[in-house]
A and B are shown apart, each in its own frame.
Chain A
Amino acid sequence: MNRNHDHHCPCCFLPPYIEERLALSDDPVIRRIGHGTSRAGVTARTMRMMQPSAIQGRNPRPGTSRNRTVYDMEGLDAPLPGVERRGEGQSATGIAEVDAVFENSGITHDFYKQVLKRHSLNGAGYPLKGSVNYGFQVVGAYWTGDQVLYGAGDGVYFLSAALSLEIAAHELTHGLIEFTSRLLYQDEPGALNESFCDIIGISVVQYHANLPAESANWSIGGDLVGSGLGDVHGVRTFLAEKAFIDHPFLGTDPQPKHMRNYVHCSEDNGGVHTNSGIPNHAFYLAAQSIGGNVWEKATLIWYDAFTNALNPQATFSQAAQKTEAAARRRFGDREGDAVAQAWLAVGVEPRD
């Protein structure tokens, strides 16, 4: 069985945009470095990124400029990133998926900048790249370590991921994590990784629609659901209830919302998309208790903790401790108490 494995490697990290600059240098030696690192591929890049001392963006510099490029894979799997369709400053193409990814990447970039005070994924303007129409009837989207790949779905049960703001924000936030806490993609840290991406995804959607927390539906994946699935509002939810129960195709939503129901399994890197339901629900409870717009307090608390305080092996208990501390530090005891209570309600006790 082919499995994901996270690695640590004592190499230095060179962001792709710097590699590209090096590759264009007039100096043949520098050019060779650029080409060499680019050819090393995504795996080697990530292995370099795993070196803790090379962490980028822990002290992000706010900036202004977006740097988006959208490509079209035209249904193919390779070579990435595909045919370039739209870059920064270029007008709409008329291709719905291309223009949606371009806009949604911009909305996410602006959320990072205006709300999180962060300039892109690494805090220094990391280019946002997306390729639409990846593969044959691919459902969902992937973060490759360098860019987002969007599947077109099957058109019946699942629609194109490229049209969803929530999915764009979720996938790009996987990149942000790689530049900050580098949460391992396995078991509890993996579920925290997934949860933080869901949290930023839903925060960007609520922010963009100017939706107060109490008016939002807190459902994830509604954009992806095709008519073949009938009356399903999402593939998971931040709420205590199940996103779907006894559905003829989907069965019952497997996400737990309390530690006593934590799912121990080998699939999906130890159930990272399943157990993320627990921290997701804690976030929801904290946001409801704090009140107001989610992006004004709750999202900032989680951002502080998840980017500046957690280590790659972080547990749910450590996330509880760090978010509570972040809430007290940034806002005060009322918010700190709300966060602590939210984690206790999902069965997680704060522990350093």
Chain B
Amino acid sequence: MKVTLTEVGGWANLRRSCTLDTASLSRPLRRKLELNCRSALSAKVELADASVRDSCTVTLVVEIDGTQMSASFVEPGAPPELRPVLEVMRPLCRPGR
């Protein structure tokens, strides 16, 4: 599974992203991240809170055997299912346009 996390916008109006091939992870970590990604992709996406300012859009793209699935969330307000994915992916992210 190839996992790509991209964040765009926010106060600083920046983009940061990273891609991780779960094959590069140990077996337990790989299983955990793949499960977490599936949970995040199926999480209920709420309409963004209209009162929030300087929010950013977080997009998760998962590729399995050439098939891509993706979901976008607005932060703050992303579903809790995304959090375990962020904890793995954000430390790997670099800024970039």
B52 touches A140 (CB 8 A): no
Contact flag A171-B47 (CB < 8 Å), given A141-B11, A268-B8: no
Contact flag A2-B46 (CB < 8 Å), given A178-B51, A268-B13: yes
8 interchain residue pairs of minimum CB distance = A145-B51, A46-B51, A140-B11, A273-B13, A251-B97, A143-B53, A174-B53, A137-B90
B51 touches A139 (CB 8 A): no
A267 touches B90 (CB 8 A): no
Q: Is A4 an interface residue (CB 8 A)?
A: yes
A3 touches B48 (CB 8 A): yes
A144 touches B54 (CB 8 A): no
Interface residues of B (CB under 8 A from A): 7-14, 16, 45-57, 72-76, 78, 80, 83, 86-87, 90-91, 93-97
19 A-B pairs in the complex with CB atoms less than 8 angstroms apart: A4-B52, A42-B49, A45-B51, A49-B51, A77-B80, A139-B11, A139-B16, A140-B12, A142-B52, A157-B94, A171-B53, A221-B11, A221-B12, A236-B13, A250-B96, A251-B96, A252-B97, A267-B57, A268-B8
Q: Which residues of B contact A185 (CB under 8 A)?
A: 50, 53
Contact flag A4-B55 (CB < 8 Å), given A137-B91, A268-B13, A273-B9: yes
- Which residue on B lies nearest to A50, using beta carbons? B50
- Which residue on A lies nearest to B71, using beta carbons? A2
Q: Is A331 an interface residue (CB 8 A)?
A: no
Q: How far is the CA of A135 from the CA of B75 in the complex (A)?
A: 10
B13 touches A274 (CB 8 A): yes
- Given contact pairs A139-B10, A154-B91, a sample of 10 additional A-B residue pairs in the complex whose CB atoms are under 8 Å apart: A2-B47, A5-B47, A46-B51, A135-B76, A136-B87, A137-B91, A143-B54, A170-B11, A249-B95, A268-B13
